[in-house]
């Protein structure tokens, strides 16, 4: 697989064996209710006989809250040891719908190509497939997080935008991250962290819409401490509960 200059990056933030747990909350009639757990794991592996990292993000709602909204999401992503996106899969059971999105990435002569497929399991429909190529690197929602954790934020200015194309499993969309500054955030482990704040936004009819707000530890780990998600069916939050296997000390801790 020829080197794709736009995709290649050096991993400065994580190591194999990192395991992060989050508590999930959902806003139900102006009340925040705990609805489940999420875990993010990182492991060294191989992909098509090449060194790689595998990321798994598992979100599971509790059975008590299935009455309001059932959620069982499993996201898997493979990147090369140079953080190039290789493969992405999202299995999502949300409400009564169950779909599987997949994306395969390849590189040839400075061009990145992604082949995507959505498989409908409930309701059963014909699979949707598409292919897209770009001279820029194409990411998925986990590989952009993996690479962005190694960005050096020292020179970021408030309001600065990071633009990139992202494969969703059905299409490739132009996405925007905006740096908002720093903020102290309390996690669910009785610890307050100094965080870098990023907004993941989309633009509809010229208007900016917040999709996810990331609060990332202001240290070498750049670990997600809290996520605020603005979903079609309401608002959700994920709070850091525990972390082990982090590559560096958590020097962003303000108080414990």
**Average pLDDT of span 233-237:** 78
Distance CA 73, CA 151 (A): 27
- The predicted-structure confidence for 132-158, as pLDDT tens digits, reads as follows 999 999 999 899 999 999 998 888 899
Strand partners, 117: 102, 129
| Mean pLDDT value across the chain | 89
pLDDT of residue 233: 64
- The predicted-structure confidence for 25-84, as pLDDT tens digits, reads as follows 988 777 888 888 999 999 999 999 999 999 999 987 766 555 555 566 889 999 999 999
Q: Is the dihedral of CA 188, 91, 173, 150 positive or negative?
A: positive
Query: Kind and range of the H or E element at 145?
Result: helix 143-148
- DSSP conformation class of 213: E
Two tokens, residue 31: 């009340």
Look at residue 212 and tell me whether its pLDDT is greater than 70: yes
Verdict on whether the full-model pTM lies above 0.85:
yes
Taking the domains of the chain in order of start, what are their residue ranges? 16-253
pLDDT of residue 62: 65
């Amino acid at each position: 697989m020829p080197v794709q200059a736009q995709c290649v990056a050096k991993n400065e933030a994580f190591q194999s064996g990192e395991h992060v747990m989050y508590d999930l909350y959902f806003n139900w009639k102006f009340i925040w209710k705990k609805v489940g757990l999420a875990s993010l794991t990182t492991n060294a592996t191989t992909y098509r006989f090449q060194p790689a990292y595998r990321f798994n993000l598992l979100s599971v709602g509790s059975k008590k809250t299935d009455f309001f909204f059932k959620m069982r999401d499993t996201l898997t992503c493979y990147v090369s040891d140079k953080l190039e996106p290789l493969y992405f899969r999202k299995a999502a059971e949300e409400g009564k719908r169950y779909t599987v999105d997949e994306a395969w990435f390849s590189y040839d002569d400075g061009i990145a190509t992604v082949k995507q497929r959505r498989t409908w399991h409930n309701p059963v429909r014909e699979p949707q497939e598409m292919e897209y190529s770009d001279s820029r690197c194409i990411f998925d929602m986990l590989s952009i997080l993996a690479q962005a954790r190694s960005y050096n934020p020292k020179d970021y200015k408030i309001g600065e935008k990071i633009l990139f194309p992202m494969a969703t499993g059905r299409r490739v969309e132009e996405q925007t991250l905006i740096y908002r500054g720093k903020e102290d955030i309390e996690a669910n482990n009785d610890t307050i962290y100094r965080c870098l704040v990023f907004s993941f936004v989309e633009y509809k009819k010229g208007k900016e819409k917040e999709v996810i707000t990331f609060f990332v530890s202001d240290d070498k780990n750049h670990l997600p401490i809290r996520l605020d998600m603005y979903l079609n069916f309401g608002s959700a939050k994920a709070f850091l509960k525990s972390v082990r296997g982090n590559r560096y000390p958590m020097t962003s801790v303000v108080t414990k």
